[in-house]
Structure 1
């Protein structure tokens, strides 16, 4: 039987007025159109995590906070991740950074990609996410989807507020590349883990 990676599409903004739902739903549609992965939305709004206050990372000792433990159990079920990334002051949101910090073991040796949005397509935030991912022993893929510049202004609520389908011709090649990379690395990681046992 062919391994079909289970992927979490993690919405990394919790603001009431967030734009994240629009690119999240578009990326979900792209992933669901494929037959080589299974995808599920994981919304940080559904995980009211406290600011990280454990004695140490769960690499070193089990977490105590019930929400942190529930978060770890949620993300631990997946073989890889797609992060929906807003760029706040050249980085990821505080909510996403806190969620990343609330786990360690569950992220290890799993790949991720991203769909980011903002003036520069969240390029700086996604680069920052990749650095954090390396420290968490994740596998950051090369390809990602960037909604920036005129495309972002066309679909953002404070711009044209058009549907993403109006700009999707510009996004489809990078979405395909990002998902291809994610599936390849998820399969490679699974095979490597199986070889260790």
Structure 2
């Protein structure tokens, strides 16, 4: 069965992300077309990218990078839950993405974003990053406003329209993850042959 990782892309104290990510996981878990699992970046502390060569050019020399790669590799696609900080994605999320290369390739990715403007600018940046890593970003996006979808800016209360939007996004992520499976399998076979 297709496996989708839900990446919680903020590690700030008092973050709103866990509520949003849990809502994504709860909604996704009611489906029967894939397995979904939460990946919290707090559980995977990574230093600023410290590998001596870019991930596309060689194996990781550091255990923390290898452990992160082993966590990400088994998934067929991702939903990234991201806030918007200063018109972009959090540095910790970009850093986690930059630590890997092959583990992202030929996998689908969708975005659930939140912020004063719904987090749309953070996702625009992430789409470019994911494209460079050979990920297929799905067109549908869920945008959540901290002004209207949170009580007192802290308690997440999504409207019904968000549930419909999330299910459309999940349809696309699962569909594209399934469609890209032959490319992932061919890459895995090539890696085995060359190792």
Q: TM-score w.r.t. structure 2 length? A: 0.91
- 2:70 is aligned with 1:77: no
Per the alignment, residue 130 of structure 1 pairs with 127
RMSD (Å), alpha carbons: 1.6
Per the alignment, residue 138 of structure 2 pairs with 141
Alignment: residue pair count: 188
Per the alignment, residue 99 of structure 1 pairs with 96
For residues 89 and 99 of structure 1, the distance between their equivalents in structure 2, rounded to whole angstroms, comes to 19
Q: What are the within-5 Å matches in structure 2 for residues 1-197 of structure 1?
A: 4-148=1-145, 150-154=147-151, 156-157=153-154, 161=155, 163-164=156-157, 167-194=158-185
Unaligned runs of 5+ in 1: none
Deviation at 1:154, TM superposition (A): 3.5
For residues 12 and 155 of structure 1, the distance between their equivalents in structure 2, rounded to whole angstroms, comes to 22
Query: Which stretches of structure 1, 4 residues or longer, exceed 2 Å deviation after superposition?
Result: 149-156, 191-197
Q: TM-score w.r.t. structure 1 length? A: 0.90
Structure ranking higher in strand proportion: 2
Unaligned runs of 5+ in 2: 190-195
Structure 2 residue matching 1:151: 3-state secondary structure: coil
Structure 2 residue matching 1:7: 3-state secondary structure: strand
